[in-house]
């Protein structure tokens, strides 16, 4: 298995094979929380208009996400995992639009298999990728809006690579490193 680590939207567009797009803060953690809350599936789109159109057509039930860090007025929920942790999504299809994570999913059009990854889904993502079994894996760190590197997604990519290569990894050490980064103050919300 050959593993490459890419960054940002350009990296997502170049990625081939089995691709894991990484957004640690918010997007893919919020998606995981929605799925854990019973969501049937999460559809990821690039624009607010796409999300609203899918909900209007009855393809999606709930719109979740953000533009510039703020939920669009027409959306049901923003992009905070904390804000949706108590919501029952049972049987609902969530349509998600974010400024980094979902943009990377949409940009990864050359992927044969595609995963939305975060630190909270790292073990499940590794199991799913290895079940392939893949010849080539591309790990794509989306960072800040898919255009500026911030570090937390890069650290998660290294953690995923280590796990895919058979090293046990140290999730707590990764968490400490991420929490020491500059994005924490901008990206976290008060506890539920």
* pLDDT tens-digit series, residues 65-112: 999 999 999 999 999 999 999 999 999 999 999 999 999 999 999 999
Q: What is the mean pLDDT of the chain?
A: 91
Q: Give the angle subtended at the CA of 16 by the CAs of 137 and 101, to the nearest 5°.
A: 85
The residue extents of the domains of the chain are: 2-25+102-183, 27-97
**Tokens describing residue 137:** 């894996």
d(CA 93, CA 84): 14
Report pTM. 0.91
Q: Does position 190 have pLDDT exceeding 70, yes or no?
A: no
**Tokens describing residue 14:** 């170049």
Percentage, residues of the chain above pLDDT 70: 94
d(CA 176, CA 85): 22
**Tokens describing residue 21:** 């797009």
Q: Does position 191 have pLDDT exceeding 60, yes or no?
A: no
What are the tens digits of pLDDT across the range 107-159? Answer: 999 999 999 999 999 999 999 999 998 999 999 999 887 677 778 899 999 99
């Amino acid at each position: 298995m050959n593993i490459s680590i890419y960054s940002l939207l350009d990296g997502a567009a170049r990625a081939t094979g089995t691709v894991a797009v990484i957004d640690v803060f918010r997007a893919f953690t919020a998606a995981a929380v929605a799925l854990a809350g019973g969501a049937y599936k999460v559809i990821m789109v690039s624009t607010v208009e796409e999300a609203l159109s899918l909900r209007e057509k009855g393809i999606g039930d709930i719109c979740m996400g953000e533009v510039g860090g703020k939920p669009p007025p027409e959306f049901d929920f923003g992009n905070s995992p904390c804000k949706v942790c108590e919501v029952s999504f049972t049987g609902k299809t969530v349509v998600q639009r974010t400024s980094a994570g979902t943009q990377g999913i949409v940009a990864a059009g050359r992927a044969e298999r595609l995963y939305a990854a975060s630190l909270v889904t790292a073990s499940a993502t590794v199991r799913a990728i290895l079940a392939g079994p893949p010849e080539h894996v591309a790990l794509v760190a989306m960072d800040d809006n898919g255009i500026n590197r911030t570090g937390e997604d890069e650290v998660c990519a290294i953690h995923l690579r280590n796990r895919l290569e058979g090293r046990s990894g140290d999730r707590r050490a990764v968490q400490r490193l991420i929490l020491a980064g500059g994005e924490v103050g901008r990206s976290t919300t008060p506890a539920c």
